Structure 1
Amino acid sequence: MRRIRQVLQLHFGARTSARVIAREVGVGRSTVQDYLARAGAAGLGWPLAPELTDAAIEQLLFPAPSCKSGARRYPEPDWGALAREMKRPGVSLMILWEEYAAVHPQGYGYSRFCELFRAFERRLSPTMRQTHVAGHKAFVDYSGKKVPIVDPLTGEVRLAEIFVGVLGASNLTYAEASWTQSLPDWIGAHVRMFRFYGAVPRLLVPDNLKSGVTKASFYDPELNRTYGSMAAHYGVGILPARPNKPKDKAAVEAGVRFAQGYILGRLRHLTFFSLAECNAAIAAALERMNDREMRRLGVSRRQLFEAVERAAMQSLPEQDYEYAEWRLARVGLDYHVEVAGFCYSVPHALLREQVDTRATARTIEVFHRGKRVAAHLRHYAGPRHHTQPEHMPSAHRRYAEWTPERLQRQARDIGPSTEALILAVLARRPHPEQGVRSCLGVLRLFRGIAAARAEAVSSRAIEIGALSHDSVASILKHRLDQKASPQAADGTPLLHDNIRGSRYFH
């Protein structure tokens, strides 16, 4: 479903052709056309409604299969081998088709055969000059050169990366220094680049950096989930350059070289003691570079951007993208998922299911099949597990509701002696929670009996130190609360700190 969403965004949002979409998404052109035809029949466009989950989209685009058989598929020859054969003297498409038809008499006819071969030829790798439409593409990459930054306290030198972004039509360039090429720095650089432009292009063309492209492939590139989320926030499509094909992003390659010479070359004699100081110097050099007149065009990058490109770009959203990191997780047997060392609950029906977690600086969200199923405030300290009552099974929820404070309140409703008994049972354990079950059992014994007798039983239990469920049950069973306390011959109670009493021998 994520691939279908990307196809819809590239077609309706970026207005990219089906051939380009097929190449960049990694599916056949006919597959792209089939997706778009199904979307048109279902009335889907872009952007999609927020309530459309992956399951809903799948139901709209791929309803239950009918009993009709699929379209006939003809065998295809090795087009690459045929292209090599065509270089031989005297070989024509008619000869190649006749050899194909001899092996596959039920295959393609001559005209369709020629059409498919010409289409394959157009997919070969000719060298071409790319003409970039205004507002259409921005090329992004990291410079191979790094800038040294000195720690003012220790004198240690640390190298910072240089991020460069170049608009395709005007060549307006953005650059900044960051400590790493990691995902947070990569996403943050894009956010600041869009803010610098004041607008958003329709497409981003990144290199196959791991922070942007999880799996680099000509046939099936897989975008980083967080990078895709950032692109969706700004309504921009992502078309990764093909691996080892620098001509796909010639604009940014030229921009990187120019930035290295114009910015780093002019700053090489300066010593920076912080990343902010370095970025301030880069911003000043960048302003001079963008305002510098280009010899062949007679205008500066900034002037060309304002004249032809800004109006063609999309407007910025009201809020900047908030960095969020997506991860796959498996729900544990305790219906919790772990994110950065802390565990957060999900509905117990999702036990052992695979889910997506979205972590921002403030929140943790959990998604299952594209639908959000849980949201928590993010924790950095304190208890490791954080559970919402509605996520618990009913039996667990009932047990969790019995806190020491609630038990004390319920005992207080019966009387002061009962409350004192409950407090004594809780205090007897190293942790009050360990006495919850005993207290539950004691209070259950008092159901259906008069409060006066419950008070008498509690007093007798405290008097003889019977601080367990079984002891209180014995007092009730043998009616010990109705018997007088043992006394000495002179009538004084046999209660004294120096007298062990019968409970000592239990």
Structure 2
Amino acid sequence: MLQYSRILRLKEEGFSLRSIASSTGNSRQKVTEVIERAEKKRLSGPLDEEMDDKWLEDFLFPEKALENSGRQPLKFDYIHDELAKPNVTLTLLHHEYEAECRMNNKIPYSYRSFLRHYSNYAAKYKATMRIRRKPGEIIEVDWAGSTAFILDRDTGEKVKAYVFVATLPCSQLSYAEASLSMNLSSWITAHNHMYEYFGGTTQIIIPDNLKASVTKHTLQELVLNPTYREMADHYKTVVMPARVGAPKDKPSVEGAVGVISTWIIAALRNTHCFSIDELNHEIQKKLKEFNNRSFTRKHGSRFSAFEEEEKFALSPLPSKSYKMSVWKTAKVRPDYHVSIESMFYSVPYEYINRQIEIRITENLIEAYFNHMRIASHKRLYGKFGQFSTNPDHMPDNHRIYIEQNPENAKEWAKGIGENTLAVIGYLLEHSQNEKLALKSIFSLKKTEQRYSKYEIERACKMILSMTPRPSVKAVQTLLLNNKKSDTEQELNRKIEKRESKYGFTRGDAYYGGRDNNE
């Protein structure tokens, strides 16, 4: 047997590979293999007394124990690493192993023996066993059944604090946080802090059927809380709630709840905290102790198992944590606004009297109809009754009225003609006040719905030739009279044109040179 302990001790003392090989009588290639395998398994000195050469051989080269059986050796490290990949199972790996044995003319292990040998290896040398749970695949979340408490500074009364618990089933790393309620805001906040603690996200999150996470869950239909669904989309994870009345769907967090109730909640029973922040500070200290406690039946702790065998598999966090939003339904009022917390926000007037969904965040109000966003506004704060109105949401006649000011009036008149501009200029200059002038101009602008620009400009030119003090009423009268006159002229032209088709027909007497009067 190789002198594994001596090789590792000489390496620890700084001897070169050549010196170690010469001292132990092994090749440099073999010495290098032993040292590399020890580094990969993070084995460093000083070694304990029970770590003799036999123990080290079993630890560093577990496949050697199977070499004398005459069967194809199992590559345990390869199997363990492959099981971390998505959709890779022991059944698939055993099938590939059998194919390799046929190519090498070796006898393969049966699937049951293959499974037993890997399980023994993982239980002895690895912090996690990847048969049922893959790293980075699932987070299980729940509220603990037991509650903590804080003290009211004024009355000394105990105030309940509810403890949120999350667990990664593969490494069993857990997170805990206290909150004064179990409402949606506390639920989302705890999730944000949980993801920051783990430093990444998983493919799936499994909650219980709380109102904060699930609106409806039956065999036929699953409806998630809109805010919770939005949070999951933000972290690019999929929500798969546990079945109603089926705690075995999330056994890891159920077990963690019991352990955390003992090692954190019960451990803090004599600790007096006067705020939720103080309580969470104490919880974090106990949580650190809990996650770093050594496993009783295998090497390492929850934290070391996470660092070595699960952290690499987590998906990266988004650049910003999820911002809390609330969804409500609202009916669009006849003035094409919706009321949100006594503030009013416009939507396109086509949605009047329709039910729409409203997404409310700290700084934004968004309106959706059939999952399509139709409006967004900066959220209003302060005095109740404020309006946020987008002119694009108004009917045309409303928008024209709202946009009335001297500059817009002159700009409109320029687009019609110089005579119209002269009329508008006179109205703005000589009216009793600007508001009355703009009201008159608005009436004139509305005539554009019935008359062309040419007709408006012609009427303004005619009124200016008649009087130095034009009025909108006079222009409107001219427009009407001109319209009637144009209609009559057009009718007369049509009659003349029709009659011109029937002229006098000269007979044979005319062309024969005879005069009928003779």
TM-score by length of 2: 0.56
Quote how far apart the aligned CAs of 1:134 are.
1.6
Match in the other structure for 2:432: 421
Query: 215-224 or 290-299: which moved more?
Result: 215-224
Q: Secondary structure at the match of 1:344?
A: strand
- Residues 30-69 of structure 1: pairs in structure 2 closer than 5 A: none
- Please give the secondary structure, in 2, of the residue aligned with 1:306: helix
Q: Counterparts of 1:434-453 in structure 2 under 5 Å?
A: 437=439, 440=442, 449=463
* SS of structure 2 residue aligned to 1:329: strand
| CA displacement 1:328-358 (0-9 Å, x = unmatched) | 3333332223333322222222333443322
Q: TM-score, normalised by structure 1?
A: 0.57
- Matching of residue 183 in structure 1 with residue 184 in structure 2: yes
Q: Distance in 1 between matches of 2:300 and 2:230?
A: 36
When residues 208 and 277 of structure 1 are mapped into structure 2, their CA distance, relative to the original with a 3 A threshold, is same
Equivalent position amino acid for 1:250 in 2: P
CA–CA separation in structure 2 for the residues paired with 1:170 and 1:252: 12
When residues 215 and 418 of structure 1 are mapped into structure 2, their CA distance, relative to the original with a 3 A threshold, is same
Tell me, which stretches of 5 or more residues in structure 1 are unaligned?
1-12, 18-128, 427-434, 459-468, 474-506
> In the alignment, is the contact (CA less than 8 A) between 2:336 and 2:351 conserved in 1?
yes
Is 2:380 the counterpart of 1:379?
yes
Q: Which stretch of structure 1 is more off in the superposition, 192-201 or 413-422?
A: 413-422
Distance 2:88 2:146 in 1: 33
Deviation at 1:326, TM superposition (A): 2.4
Counterpart for residue 224 of structure 1: 225
Secondary structure at the aligned position of 1:270 is classed as coil
1:397 to 386, 399, 416: 399
Shift of 1:196: 0.4
Q: How many Å separate the matches in 1 of 2:297 and 2:323?
A: 40
- Tell me the residue number matched to 2:295: 294
Structure-2 separation of matches of 1:136 and 1:351: 46
Give the corresponding residue for 2:54. Answer: none
Q: Residue 164 of structure 1 aligns with which residue?
A: 165
Does the 8 Å CA contact 1:138/1:168 hold for their aligned counterparts? yes
State the distance in 2 between where 1:172 and 1:211 align.
24
1:200/1:419 CA distance change after superposition, 3 Å: farther
Native 8 Å contact 2:423 2:460 kept in 1: no
Partner of 2:149: 148
Match of 1:334 in 2: 335
Listed one character per residue, the Cα deviations across residues 130-183 of structure 1 (whole Å, up to 9, x for unaligned) are 922221111100112222222324545422211110111111010111121111
Structure 2 match to 1:236? 237
Fraction of identical pairs, as percent:
34
The residue identity in structure 2 corresponding to 1:234 is Y
| Residue 417 to residue 318, structure 1, CA distance change in 2 (3 Å) | closer
Structure 1 SS opposite 2:296: coil
Deviation (angstroms), 1:371: 2.6
1:370 alignment partner in structure 2 = 371
Structure 2 unaligned residues grouped into runs of 5+: 1-84, 90-129, 412-420, 448-458, 477-518
Matches of 2:386 and 2:216 in 1, distance apart?
A: 33
CA distance change for structure 1 residues 398 and 154 in 2, over 3 Å: closer, same or farther?
farther
Matched residue, 1:345? 346
Retained in 2: the 8 A contact 1:411–1:422? no
Q: CA deviation at 1:303?
A: 0.5
Give secondary structure in 2 for the equivalent of 1:253.
helix
Structure whose alpha-carbon radius of gyration is higher:
2
In the other structure, the counterpart of 2:304 is 303
- 1:247 paired to 2:240: no
Cα distance in 2 for residues equivalent to 1:207 and 1:457? 76
Say how many residue pairs are matched.
330
Distance 1:447 1:385, change over 3 A: farther
**In 1, Cα distance between equivalents of 2:342 and 2:251:** 43
Residues 231, 238 of structure 1: 8 Å contact kept:
yes
Q: Distance in 1 between matches of 2:253 and 2:234?
A: 23
RMSD of the alignment, in Å? 3.7
Distance verdict in 2 for CA 1:197–1:438, change over 3 Å: same
Letter in 1 for 2:227: T
